[in-house]
Amino acid sequence: MAPYGVHSEVGKLRQVIVHRPELSLKRLTPDNHDELLFDDVLWVERAQWEHDQFVARMRERGVEVFYVQDLLGEALAASEDARRRIIEVVASEYVVGTGLVDPVREKLTSLPADELARHLLGGLTVGESGLDLATLGKSSLIAAAIDDETMFILPPLPNSLFTRDSSCWIYGGVSINPMYWPARRREAFNMAAIYKAHPMFAGGGFEFWYPELGNDDRFNVHDFGLASLEGGDVEIIGRGTVAIGMSERTTGRMIEQIARALFAKGAADRVIAAVMTKDRAHMHLDTVFTLLDRDKATAYPKVVQGIRAISLRPGAKPGTLDVRPDKDFLSAVADALGVAKLHVVETGGDAYQQQREQWDDGNNVVALEPGVVVAYERNTFTIAKMREAGVEVVPIEGFELGKGRGGGHCMTCPVTRDPI
């Protein structure tokens, strides 16, 4: 097996991390789905079936698939230190309140590793915690105010379904990302535990692009100020270039940090910042643009034509940046790929259908190898245009999965992918 690393968006996909719908999605309700960043509640059993079909299509093509919940449970079973540190972080006074820190930590510590992983993802309710609220309420405001056993001590993390965002591999290293919305930030702690403590990654020889920390410090909470990064905005173009959307959820401050880290190690020599409008309908770059082949991409023209591209390269002095505007985004990507012109497959249909299929993740496809992609079957117009362009499309059902506003690209965190 090649060393861990993702060296393109379309080279042969070797290993990938996904998250099968579980407890957290069963806890979405009409009352809480907005704050948990979902547009609707899902029929979870159906979503599980759809996800299983997605995984089956990848495995049929030789992709090795790992599940977040399994990896997390195995990491916590393998390392008492990782277990202690993640409990300290997720059950801090800023999460559960000063008066509940000790009892919540005791509860989490008592759980077997697999059950702890389940609740780190799915959340922990008052009823599940077994807390003596009558006693704790005498010294804890949080406990005194609780009047419902279904209230969350630890909120669920349903967006874990979209493994691309909380961590992303860029060439020979990984970034554990500071997420934009508070509802998602704990996802990164789970991924940190996996990369830090799971035997699969021990001695992997990979870099941590963010956070830049010592081996004993990766579970600490760091102030990232107004900076944020989500992996749906990160696309590894290849040939030493990365494109990063400056979007609703990824800031220029964080793009600069990633660029400096990559340049310092010689892992990349160009970062194309894609300056986008900020909109829920296209929250990440990969919702409007993904690569299909060495010289082909799919794009939602209404948004992509308006993207401003600014390239960052190493500056004259170490740690500095050379920042220059590009003519436009598509020509910058073509230049990075070394092709005369990028063949762009636009979202299919008339203006109304284009908008519908972009909303339904028509552009959010994941490549299994050059010219072979997985797409939601409902995006019939876009799929037809991809096939006309010579791309093999592997269709999957996504009636329930698609309600989360994420397709195959969002639902995969490639760990090992070949260059092109």
- The answer to whether residues 408 and 395 touch, using CB atoms and an 8 Å cutoff, is no
- The answer to whether residues 274 and 307 touch, using CB atoms and an 8 Å cutoff, is yes
The alpha-carbon radius of gyration of the chain (Å, integer) is 21
The whole-angstrom separation of Cα 172 and Cα 170 is 6
According to the model, what pLDDT value does residue 396 have? 97
pTM equals 0.94
According to the model, what pLDDT value does residue 223 have? 63
The whole-angstrom separation of Cα 411 and Cα 420 is 22
Rounded to the nearest angstrom, the gap between the alpha carbon of residue 160 and the centroid of all alpha carbons in its chain is: 8
In sequence order, what E strands does 50-151 have? 64-67, 124-125
According to the model, what pLDDT value does residue 216 have? 47
Cβ within 8 Å of residue 370, ≥6 positions away: 10, 11, 12, 293, 294, 420
Q: pLDDT below 70 — which residues of the chain?
A: 1-2, 212-223, 280-281
Catalytic hit among 410, 413, 415, 420:
410
Helix (H, G, I), strand (E, B) or coil at 114: helix
Rounded to the nearest angstrom, the gap between the alpha carbon of residue 346 and the centroid of all alpha carbons in its chain is: 24
Other Cβ atoms within 10 Å of 134 Cβ, number: 9
The whole-angstrom separation of Cα 131 and Cα 121 is 20
According to the model, what pLDDT value does residue 231 have? 97
According to the model, what pLDDT value does residue 147 have? 85
Other Cβ atoms within 10 Å of 281 Cβ, number: 15
Dihedral sign from CA coordinates of 204, 208, 214, 220: negative
Whether 410 sits among the annotated catalytic residues: the reply is: yes
How far CA 271 is from CA of 309, 312, 323, in Å, comes to: 10, 5, 10
